[in-house]
Amino acid sequence: MSPSSDYPSIPVSPRHLTGDGPGLREFVDKYSSSIAMVGVLWSGDHLFPGTVETLDLLRGKGKRVVFVTNNSTKSRADYTKKLESLGIPATPEEIFSSSYSSSIYISRILNLPPQKRKVFVIGESGIEQELQSESIPFIGGTDPSYRRDIKPEDYKAIAAGDSSLLDPEVGVVLVGLDFHFNYLKLALAYHYIQRGAVFLATNIDSTLPNSGALFPGAGTMSAPLIMMLGKDPVALGKPSQAMMDAIEGKFQFDRKRACMVGDRANTDIRFGLEGQLGGTLAVLTGVSTKEDILGGPVRPSAYLDRLSDLLGLRQEAEAGH
Amino acid sequence: MSPSSDYPSIPVSPRHLTGDGPGLREFVDKYSSSIAMVGVLWSGDHLFPGTVETLDLLRGKGKRVVFVTNNSTKSRADYTKKLESLGIPATPEEIFSSSYSSSIYISRILNLPPQKRKVFVIGESGIEQELQSESIPFIGGTDPSYRRDIKPEDYKAIAAGDSSLLDPEVGVVLVGLDFHFNYLKLALAYHYIQRGAVFLATNIDSTLPNSGALFPGAGTMSAPLIMMLGKDPVALGKPSQAMMDAIEGKFQFDRKRACMVGDRANTDIRFGLEGQLGGTLAVLTGVSTKEDILGGPVRPSAYLDRLSDLLGLRQEAEAGH
């Protein structure tokens, strides 16, 4: 894949803005909105130092900040609480999660037949809350009756399409990160899709950072189904442009005056580039390394060692520029 | 992929032997051994009609029959009992399972360092019994202490490589079908492999037939790891030739006088073709259809609608041929 053909606006060499006051000011002045992946703010339960001050600085300069996350396990309300608990003022309207994006897609874009409007959920309560917010009926999810072993009689019931196990109204299987994923849920999801349900994923990230290490991401819940079915789900998280369209529909921002801020080249930065945002800014506190940013096929306009390097703008201001 | 370059011995058109008495006799007379996938004998707990008589007939003609299965959940001893319960006389020595093949590979082929000889098992008791038969130490498997949710403190412990969760002696992760697969086991398997453990799979079948339908197979347990790691396991079941080598090592048969009998073109038949057996016989009672057999890239020498069509040999004999 040649970057120049797929991403015509990518510079050959992303600009390193850490410690470059004038460069920072020039870069930040170009944008009125920033779409920040929440992964640049914290890792696990650890807020990166200087995050609050950095967001204050951007908001003080009149920049609108939208927090985007592929994490489907929390709802927008949950995320607002999480941000506030870390000292970051936020409202649910500033937050865009893959579970919300999925709910919007199901309710407003998928044209489901009247008797096929139910969603079989593999995932946690964040998905359930966002489905409820769009009045979409669902089964599965955190329902404890699915947290059990498969029994010999289940095979026969599933094979026969027994409505005690396979709800005939299910028209969508939505797969997100589920810490209670099991064989029964996988078997049911497979059979629903084989019987015609739409295969959706909140996101397909293979890994989830926590405590400085990587753990199985939402994509690992779809991986068995992809192998069995020989087809991919429609993914509603970044880098799917379905998510960017939903963000734009909601916030009515000018893409050319928006900057994507993220820590993963092939999802966050790709999301911004394919969405033709004015700029993309990578931070090196997450998954992608400097080598990925400088040498990989997907390159941002600029990069910082850490998000709080934006505080260099303060010194720039104090120095009278 | 061109069949003619990969499988030089494949006939363009597999011969249909159902109802063709002389063809059957000519075909069967060529071989002294048959390696039969157990999938051709039964589905779920349902023995295909005529199976016992067909095996009697083959044995009566002096053919050695070896039963091969990718199912890792049962040991050879378990399989012997299962065959006997269905009325098929058998001994554990006639049975070759992917869990046995994996154990042979670990004990006799992998050259593990002295302090890295333990196996972390994702799978059921069949794997554990076969590891024990080769005196290989293991953890995981059916141990109930792994059948629990991941806890917040587990992330930190795993990230830190804490020996309470990550046994430093583990040098192999062996992944088979596990009806108690969960997030914790997946996270541990990933971290063991990231720390240098060898990634093995008993087999990578995506599906498992039961009650006339398909359910998640052992491959769906490896799929999340393949996605996270970006690499495939060494698979010890068919169609891996590691399994054929082990079968040959054990039974000392002449490959040119052996026939592979199976119901999946791209695993069973491929296994026989790549192993350069004298013949391959597909039966249509399983996954592959007549269209797969006649039109697919992997074609057997001959095919039957069902295994018991071999009983046509009896009529052939009675007719005085």
Are A217 and B228 a contacting pair at CB < 8 A?
Answer: yes
Are A186 and B149 a contacting pair at CB < 8 A?
Answer: no
Ordered strands of the B234-235 beta sheet: B138-140, B118-122, B170-175, B198-201, B234-235
For residue A205, the chain B residue with the least C-alpha distance is B228
B213 close contact with A: CB closer than 8 A: yes
Lookup: tokens for B194: 């990231």
Cα separation of B107 and B312, whole Å? 44
Indicate whether this complex's ipTM tops 0.90.
no
Name the residue type at position B319: A
How does DSSP assign A77-137, residue by residue?
HHHHHHHHHTT----GGGEEEHHHHHHHIIIII----GGG-EEEEES-HHHHHHHHHTT--
B109 close contact with A: CB closer than 8 A: no
Picking from A149, A220, A228, the nearest residue to B216 by CB comes out as A228
Q: When comparing pLDDT for B117 and A44, which is higher?
A: B117
Picking from B155, B156, B220, the nearest residue to A227 by CB comes out as B220
* Closest approach of B194 to chain A, Cα-based (Å): 10
Q: What is the pLDDT of residue A175?
A: 98
Average pLDDT, chain B: 91
Give the model's confidence band at B5: pLDDT under 50 very low, under 70 low, under 90 confident, else very high: very low
The answer to whether residue A65 scores a pLDDT higher than 50 is yes
Are B223 and A221 a contacting pair at CB < 8 A?
Answer: no
Picking from A150, A190, A224, the nearest residue to B223 by CB comes out as A224
For residue B184, the chain A residue with the least C-alpha distance is A179
Are B182 and A186 a contacting pair at CB < 8 A?
Answer: no
B77 close contact with A: CB closer than 8 A: no
Q: Which of B233, B203, B232 is nearest to B69 (CA)?
A: B203
Substitution target in B204, B228, B229 with the highest count of A β-carbons within 10 Å is B228
Mean pLDDT of B66-85: 91
Substitution target in A215, A225, A266, A287 with the highest count of B β-carbons within 10 Å is A215
Are B228 and A214 a contacting pair at CB < 8 A?
Answer: yes
A109 close contact with B: CB closer than 8 A: no
A195 close contact with B: CB closer than 8 A: no
Give the model's confidence band at A315: pLDDT under 50 very low, under 70 low, under 90 confident, else very high: confident
| Cβ neighbours, 10 Å, residue A292 | 18
The answer to whether residue B306 scores a pLDDT higher than 80 is yes
How does DSSP assign B21-43, residue by residue?
HHHHHHHHHT-SEEEEEGGGTEE
A positions 248-287 inside 8 Å of B (CB)? none
Domain annotation for chain A: domains and CATH numbers: 111-235 (3.40.50.1000)
Q: When comparing pLDDT for A316 and B86, which is higher?
A: B86
CA angle A79, A80, A83 (to 5 degrees): 85
Lowest mean pLDDT among A247-251, A296-300, B241-245, B273-277: A247-251
Kindly state the greatest CA–CA separation across chain A: 76
Q: What is the pLDDT of residue A261?
A: 95
Mean pLDDT of A195-199: 97
Give the model's confidence band at A127: pLDDT under 50 very low, under 70 low, under 90 confident, else very high: very high
B positions 27-56 inside 8 Å of A (CB)? 44
Give the helix/strand (H/E) hosting B213.
Answer: strand B213-216
Cα separation of B32 and B214, whole Å? 33
Residue A249 neighbours by CB under 8 Å, 6+ apart: none
The answer to whether residue B9 scores a pLDDT higher than 60 is no
The answer to whether residue A58 scores a pLDDT higher than 70 is yes
Across-strand partners of A279? Answer: A259
Lowest mean pLDDT among A137-146, A232-241, A244-253, B123-132: A244-253
pLDDT in tens, B223-265: 999 999 999 999 999 889 988 988 887 788 899 999 999 998 9
For residue A229, the chain B residue with the least C-alpha distance is B206
The answer to whether residue A206 scores a pLDDT higher than 60 is yes
Lookup: tokens for B280: 């391959």
Q: What is the pLDDT of residue A12?
A: 64
Average pLDDT, chain A: 91
Q: What is the pLDDT of residue A224?
A: 98
